[in-house]
Amino acid sequence: MPSPTPAGASVSHASWYVPEWWRPSPAVALPLLRDLRVHTITFVTDRRPSSAVALASQLHPLARVLVLAPRAQRERVMQLGATWVDLNEHANRTAAFGIGYRQGSPGSRRYHIFCHVRWLAVAAALKERPPPADGMVAVLDDDVLLFERLDERLREAAAFHATAHAETVVSGAFVLASAAALSRLAAFLWALYALPADKLALVSWRYGEAKPLSSLGERDRARIDAAFRREGRYARFSDMDAIEAFRFLSRTGELPTNLRAHWAAGHRRGSCVHAPKVEKLGVLDPSKALLNASYSSTPWPSRAALRDAANVELPNQAREPHLLWQRGVPRLEPVGKPLCFLHLQGPQAKQALLAPMLAASGVGA
């Protein structure tokens, strides 16, 4: 757990500086989720986009699908039936963010900068190509296989979080929001990493996770900025922790009004199964994941883990769980519910399952 924040410690409103181009207008009111309609589906990737883009498009033929990707991937994006947006279109603006970025997590600096810059890139793309004021934007990683309709999820999330402007379905991988809410998130990220080291430390130790520096190799220890270090420990702080900070600082009123958004999380649909990590379905072994057949015979997790994933009680004598494909959608049996989505997080899951699951869904990989 992070070290406790000193009583009363906070960052003053005057400390949150945002460059003019990224600064949200205080006159623009954020629409509630309940007032939005599905308009845009956005993917951001710095590699070759996967056919998960085509799968989402197939379910949402009336939605605008934007793929932010490198210039070399333009033809690939067009093959997927989406609109290509140059990931580096605003490189001169996002480069300034990278220069000032302070790293709070082990791993490649380039990777962590990209994780943050993707939110800036989405906000910039929507500023240049704005949806209607009531247009909902879904931001997905291209390793999220979408099997549900977004209008149904939006309707349920809006009812569950009646005062929310945005909803996180899977941290970093699946978000519903208006363009205005995404603009405020981008502005917050700029302002956060522009804070003086002592004020950034206040935020990072409140919302990051304390870890011993001794657990890191020499290279990773050198990558952790001084703002995240304290008495032999560091506050592991990623873009996901930054978004959590944004959520809570908005709620407590510690942000200026034009940087706040009620960003909700945690709604789970009852009509389909959430699979934010593929491990919940136990299909990581490619030799046993017969996903291009009518069902998969796989090693499965405990009944308790399956029950939690499906959000239902299972009968005592339920038969061995499996995936049954119906009209391109995997159904978890014996629960009897389709998957809402499947997040193929990590290289092993992608290598083993991305192509066969897309093929089983009727989409060429």
Q: What is the mean pLDDT of residues 66-95?
A: 93
- Of the listed ranges 46-55, 269-278, 280-289, 351-360, the least confidently predicted one is 280-289
pLDDT category at 160 given cuts 50, 70, 90 is: very high
Structure confidence by residue, pLDDT tens digits, 210-249 = 999 999 999 999 999 999 999 999 999 999 999 999 999 9
Residues 172 and 314 in one domain: no
> Residue 270 domain-assigned?
no
> Residue 79 domain-assigned?
yes
User: For all residues of the chain together, what is the average pLDDT?
Assistant: 86
pLDDT category at 321 given cuts 50, 70, 90 is: low
Starting from the edge strand earliest in sequence, which strands make up the sheet with 322-326, in order? Answer: 295-296, 322-326, 329-333, 337-338
Structure confidence by residue, pLDDT tens digits, 81-99 = 999 999 998 888 888 899 9
Domain boundary among 217, 234, 265: 265
Residue 5: per-residue pLDDT: 47
CA–CA distance from 291 to each of 193, 297, 312, 361 (Å)? 44, 9, 24, 10
Structure confidence by residue, pLDDT tens digits, 178-196 = 999 999 999 999 999 999 9
Residues 127 and 258 in one domain: yes
pLDDT category at 365 given cuts 50, 70, 90 is: low
Domain boundary among 204, 237, 265: 265
Residues 214 and 305 in one domain: no
Residues 214 and 316 in one domain: no
Q: How many domains does the chain have?
A: 2
Residues 327 and 197 in one domain: no
Residue 269: per-residue pLDDT: 95
Structure confidence by residue, pLDDT tens digits, 12-41 = 887 899 989 889 887 778 999 999 999 999
Residue 121: per-residue pLDDT: 95
> Residue 6 domain-assigned?
no
Asked if residue 172 has pLDDT above 80, the reply is yes
Residues 55 and 203 in one domain: yes
Counting residues of the chain whose pLDDT is more than 90, the rounded percentage is 65
Q: What is the mean pLDDT of residues 290-318?
A: 43
Residue 3: per-residue pLDDT: 44
Pairing relationship of beta strands 229-230 and 135-140 according to DSSP bridges: unpaired
Q: Which of 237, 263, 113, 109 is nearest to 185 (CA)?
A: 263
Domain boundary among 244, 265, 286: 265
Residues 161 and 20 in one domain: yes
> Residue 60 domain-assigned?
yes
Q: Domain range for residue 125?
A: 13-265
Residues 143 and 180 in one domain: yes
Residues 230 and 330 in one domain: no
Structure confidence by residue, pLDDT tens digits, 52-63 = 999 999 999 999
Residues 304 and 336 in one domain: yes
Tokens of 41: 């589906």
Residues 30 and 53 in one domain: yes
Residue 13: per-residue pLDDT: 85
Residues 216 and 324 in one domain: no
